[in-house]
Chain A
Amino acid sequence: MCDTCGCGDTEIVPVDVRERILSHNDHQAAHNRQHFVAGGVLAINLMGSPGAGKTAMLEATARALPDAKLAAISGDLATDHDEARLSHAGITAATINTDSGCHLDAELVHRRLHDVPWRDASVLFIENVGNLVCPAVYDLGQAANVVALSVTEGVDKPEKYPVRFRAADLVLLTKIDLLPHLPGISVEAIAASLAKVNPQPRLLPVSAVSGEGIGAWTDWLASRR
């Protein structure tokens, strides 16, 4: 209120902020990251389109590492089918149902950590909602981003989703056992597409069905610990 005449005038005040819009998520992600590092657990944010083969890759990982303690948090809009498959494969798992949410965020992951004995695990896989767009934006506190891309998705997905593929520490090229049935698809063409958006592209062709490439995948996980 103006002291002179009590007119109640207001003034427009500019406030410089210069903060990331998702700074709250960033703080929660940093908190998650501290937990994982302190606990000696490798946290992997596993992303990909619906049907790219994320869950199948985790099942294949469990088969390849029968003595390892693996844990997973699976994000889906609905159902706990992935959790059931992973538990059956020997991975301790919990589900996050987002209802209509298209991505996981650090807060959702933090809350679900209470339901998974992740501290006993060597690797915690955070299987994100099947989606190549939205999950790219949210840090979860992971040590590395792994994107599952299947050979049935064509040769140019990296260029179509540059945000996602630029941030991929590793791209698992899945379902390579199907290549004989896909005459228009080559690993080289997909690698070239990835190189257009990622200055340090790492593409690993794999098959959960035949087991090809799984050894290189588990070696990569070991190298990240």
Chain B
Amino acid sequence: MHEYSIIQALIGRVTEAAEQRQATRIHRITVRIGELAGVDADLLSSAFELVRGHSLCAEAELTINRVAARWDCAACGRVIEAAMPLCCPTCDEPARLSAGDEMYLDRIEMEVPDV
């Protein structure tokens, strides 16, 4: 499943940020995954457990914030319910996905030596 390659990309980026700050351990990684991102959050967690191995992330917690899909009208801002049609009843404009396809690394909490 592609969740493994996504976790590899995530750990790569986290490791890069950690090395920039001479961090010794990653405490928590917070990500944001939209309902329509094409990634299964549970599979992502499982993949993280399997892939982190003996890296800086070995004891890190992965926090996944899920974002629900939200459709609205780009012209008038009206929220459009997910039931079809995906069209603004006021403006007749096609609906826009304003939330729900996110796949973001938001925050890393890392242990750095006191200077």
Chain A residues near B17 (CB-CB < 8 A): 15, 17
Asked if B42 lies at the interface with its beta carbon under 8 angstroms from chain A, I say no
Q: Does B6 contact A (CB under 8 A)?
A: yes
- A17–B36 Cα distance when bound, in Å, is 22
Chain B contact-residue range equals: 35 or more
> B112 at interface (Cβ–Cβ under 8 A)?
yes
Are B36 and A23 in contact (CB-based, < 8 A)? no
Judge whether A188 is part of the interface by a CB distance below 8 angstroms: no
A166 in the interface, Cβ–Cβ < 8 Å?
A: yes
Asked whether any CB of chain B lies closer than 8 Å to the CB of A179, the reply is no
Using known A-B contacts A21-B9, A21-B13, A22-B103, determine if residue A199 contacts B114 with beta carbons closer than 8 Å: no
Compute how far the CA of A13 lies from the CA of B21 in the bound complex, rounded to whole angstroms.
10
Chain B residues closer than 8 Å to A105, beta-carbon distance: 5
Q: How far is the CA of A171 from the CA of B105 in the complex (A)?
A: 32
Comparing A77-85, A133-141, A149-157, A212-220, the segment that makes contact with chain B is A133-141
Contacts of A35 in B (CB 8 A): none
Interface check A103, CB cutoff 8 A: yes
Cβ–Cβ contact A1 & B110, under 8 A:
no
B59 sits at the interface (CB 8 A): no
B37 / chain A contacts, CB cutoff of 8 Å? 137, 163
0/1 interface trace, chain A 3-24, chain B, CB 8 Å (1 if under): 0000011111111111111111
Nearest CB on B from A196, distance (A): 5
A25 at the interface (CB under 8 A from B): yes
Q: Does A116 contact B (CB under 8 A)?
A: no
Can you name the residue of chain B whose Cβ is closest to the Cβ of A16?
A: B107
Q: How far is the CB of A107 from chain B (nearest CB, A)?
A: 11
Q: Which residues of B contact A23 (CB under 8 A)?
A: 13
Tell yes or no: B12 within 8 A of A by CB: yes
Q: Check: B10 CB closer than 8 A to any chain A CB.
A: yes
| A211 lies within 8 A of chain B by Cβ | no
Contact between chains at A20 and B104 (CB < 8 Å): yes
Report if B49 contacts A (CB, 8 A): no
**Bound CA span A43–B59, Å:** 43
With A11-B112, A15-B17, A15-B107 as contacts: A21 and B86 at CB distance below 8 Å: no
Contact A137 B38 (CB under 8 A): yes
B39 at interface (Cβ–Cβ under 8 A)? yes
Min Cβ gap A216→B in Å is: 21
B41 to chain A, nearest CB (A): 13
State whether the Cβ of A87 lies closer than 8 Å to any Cβ in chain B.
no
- CB distance A8 to B38 under 8 Å? no
Contacting pair A195 B84 (CB below 8 A): yes
B36 and A166 form a contact (CB under 8 A): yes
Q: Is A90 at the interface (CB under 8 A from chain B)? A: no
Q: Which residues of A contact B (CB under 8 A)?
A: 1-2, 8-25, 101-103, 105, 133-134, 136-138, 162-164, 166, 195-200
